Each structure stands twice: as C-alpha cells, then as structure tokens.
Amino acid sequence: MKKALVFFLVAATILGVSWFSRMDSGEQISTEQTIHFVEDERFPIVRPLEPVTGLSSKAVALGKRLFFDTRLSSNNTISCASCHRFDLGGADGMAVSIGVNGALGDINAPTVFNSGLHFAQFWDARAPTLTEQIEGPIHNPVEMNSSWQEIIQRLSSDNVLVAEFNAAYQDGLTVNNLINAIATFEQSLVTLDAPFDHYLRGDKSALTAEQVLGFQNFHDYGCTSCHQGMLLGGNTLQKLGIIEDYFAGREITSADLGRYNVTGREEDKHVFKVPSLRNVALTAPYLHDGSAQTLEAAVAIMARYQLGRDIPTEDLQSIVAFLQSLSGKIPEIGATP
C-alpha cells in the first residue's frame, strides 16, 4: 500500500496533477500540453500577467495612505508596509516579521504584490479574499495588536482623511470602507512587464538562452505541477514533503501544520498554499519557515522533497536564471503621508 501511494504521488507530480484540484481552471494539464506550450498558446499552463482594471481611483489612493499608516497598530509603530516593503518585493526580507513591541511572528510574510490574484490568502488559505485577510494582522497580538474601534477613533480626528473618505464613499469613514480601501489598493499592486511576460507574448529575445533552457527544465522536472497559471502558483494547495518528510527530526510548530489549523483534518497537516513565483528573486528567504536563504537552496529543497530529485548544478542554475525573469515592474510608491 505504501509503495503504491509513493508511485501515485510521483506520477501525479511528473504529469502535472496537483495534490488538490486546480483552482483557477477546471481543465486538466497533460504532459503533452506542457511540452507544447511555448509553441501553442491554447495550452496556458503559464500565462502572461495582465493589468487589473475597474478599480476605484479614490479607493486606491485612500488604501495607499492606510497601507503606510502606523496608526493602524496599537502603539503607532507598525504599518502594513512594515512587513510588505516595496523595496523588498512586497515582503520584508526576514524569516518571520517583527510586530508591535518587537514581537516575532511565527511564519514567513508573503509578498503583497499580485496578492489580489491569488485564490485565497495566507499560507493556510484561511481567508478567501483580501478583505478577509486584512482582519488577521490588525487583530493579531504579534502583528498590529489593534482593533477597528480603536483605529476608527484615531482616524476620525484626521479631518483631511475623513474628507477623503466622504468623497470616496457615500457613508464616509467606516470599518467596511477602511477594509475596502486597503484591499482595493492591494489589488492594484500588480507587477507587470516581467521579461517572461514579454517572452510569452512572442518576444523571444526577452529571455537569455540560459533562461529559456531554465524554463524548459522548469517544465521537464515537474515544477509546473504546482507552479502554473498567471502567477506560477497562488492557485492551489499542496503538501510540503510529498516524497520525503520535510519535517522529520524537527520540533513541529503550529505554523508547520499549515491547512490543518483551519480544517482539523489529518490529511491537511503540512499542506500550504503554493506560493506564486512572481518576483521570487526579490523575496528571500523562502518557504513558510523562511529556512531557505537563496533561490538555489529553495529549488534544491523543492526538488528533493516534492519531486524526489537531485537536480544537477547546471540545470538548477538555469532554473534559477528563469525564475529571475519573473520579476516585473514594482509599483511606484510615490508620495506617502
């Protein structure tokens, strides 16, 4: 029985079948589609990143102000931007983040860039939308340790901000409108025009020869079984340690349990949202525990524990070169309060 299970998992990984069903499309991905994708756009196992349209410019502007506003934290020291820095790819460059009064979080902060395109938020996918995600850090005692009542009380004394809310929303400054503004701003943070996007749209000179080879190796080793779609991830759940136990010999933390913390189901232990690889070259360290300091280390870990492979150095370096082509244009911060 155990051997049969291992065989199934290896086959599923090689053929591009996710541990969970694909979230952004009901179609199945075959090996043939993967091989022919570069020449045939009917098989969008990976797709160019598209701009987000239809967002309220007033809500985006308000959300931007709030994203950088430390008044959202209990001691006026932490803003959303503290853990999602624009100069670090929308993350913070740390294994775990620092919250109010120097408190340490228990899991690696994911990038905020392109987050509105994910099928769910947080490593354990507990929040279906950005509006629900925002509740987490606001109330978490090791992050902002605040409350909406406290925040509304503080912001209500800011006449300029209140006037902007009155102009943007019929009912002005409310908790729901605060949340909507922040979520709308985060939806706007799409990193367009990565070299890989230009390549997918037909500009074959957008990638170096090594990056093209890395793209092919990325397919051939089975990475697209989890990292596909517009974000090359962010649309499925997957167990960490399919082939080999990633958590063997270590003390298991609550964060290590992943999706199990949401469902309580044994089969969901160590299951996480597959991270997007967009801008991944900018967001070290990697994995939910921040244990991989470099892209090379992260790729080698994934190959070992998810694919049961030791990737030769030359192939690994080409894959890393390909991943570097996924860095798009960082949204401009501009003037902030």
Compute the distance between CA of residue 316 and CA of residue 303 in angstroms, rounded to an integer.
10
The pLDDT value given to residue 128: 96
Question: Mind listing the pLDDT tens digit for each residue in 101-150?
Answer: 999 999 999 999 999 999 999 999 999 999 999 999 999 999 999 999 99
The pLDDT value given to residue 46: 86
The pLDDT value given to residue 47: 87
Q: Which CATH superfamily is domain 57-187 in?
A: Cytochrome c-like domain (1.10.760.10)
Query: Which parts of the chain register pLDDT below 50?
Result: 1-44, 335-337
The pLDDT value given to residue 334: 63
- Asked, colleague to colleague, whether 14-45+192-324 and 57-187 share their fold, the answer is yes
Residue 125, by phi and psi: left (phi above 0), alpha (psi -120 to 50) or beta? left
Question: Mind listing the pLDDT tens digit for each residue in 49-98?
Answer: 999 999 999 999 999 999 999 999 999 999 999 999 999 999 999 999 99
Q: Where are the domains of the chain?
A: 14-45+192-324, 57-187
Joined tokens for residue 260: 């199990």
Compute the distance between CA of residue 236 and CA of residue 221 in angstroms, rounded to an integer.
19
Element (DSSP H or E) covering residue 10: helix 2-15
Are 165 and 177 in contact by the 8 Å Cβ rule? The answer is yes
Element (DSSP H or E) covering residue 237: strand 237-239
Non-local CB neighbours of 52 within 8 Å, separated by 6+ positions: 116, 117, 187, 188, 190
- Catalytic residue from among 143, 244, 251, 266: 143
CATH label, 14-45+192-324, candidates 3.40.50.720, 1.10.3720.10, 1.10.760.10, 3.20.20.80:
1.10.760.10
Please indicate whether residue 150 is annotated as part of the active site: no
